[in-house]
C-alpha cells in the first residue's frame, strides 16, 4: 500500500473511531451540549469518513442522490 493510500486509510479509521466514540464522550473535540455547534465535529468526521470511503471505491453518497431511473 502506498503512503497516500495508507494515510487516507488511517484518516478514515480515525474518523470511524471518533464516530463510534468508544470512550462515551471523554474524547470530544467540541462538547455536544453547546447549542448549534455541538455536533459539528461529528458531522466533519462523517464527511471525512465518506470521502475516504469514496477514495477506495465505495461511494455511499449515491444513496442520497435523486433516482436517475425516472421512477
- 67 inside domain: no
Residue 25 grid cell? 464522550
| Confidence (pLDDT) at 61 | 81
Residue 19 pLDDT > 60? yes
Considering its fold, how many domains does the chain have in total?
Answer: 1
pLDDT of residue 34: 77
Using CA atoms, how far apart are residues 8 and 51, in angstroms rounded to an integer? 9
pLDDT at res. 67: 72
Whether 23 is covered by a domain: the verdict is yes
pLDDT of 4 above 70 = yes
Residue 66 lies in a domain: no
The answer to the question of residue 69 being in a domain is no
What is the reported pLDDT for 30?
Answer: 72
Q: Where are the alpha helices (DSSP H) in the chain?
A: 3-20, 40-55
Q: Give the structural domain span for 56.
A: 12-61
pLDDT score at 25: 60
Amino acid at each position: 500500500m502506498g503512503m497516500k493510500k495508507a494515510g487516507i486509510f488511517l484518516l478514515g479509521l480515525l474518523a470511524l473511531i471518533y464516530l463510534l466514540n468508544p470512550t462515551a464522550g471523554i474524547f470530544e473535540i467540541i462538547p455536544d451540549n453547546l447549542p448549534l455547534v455541538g455536533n459539528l465535529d461529528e458531522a466533519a468526521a462523517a464527511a471525512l469518513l465518506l470521502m475516504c470511503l469514496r477514495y477506495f471505491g465505495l461511494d455511499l453518497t449515491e444513496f442520497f442522490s435523486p433516482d436517475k431511473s425516472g421512477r
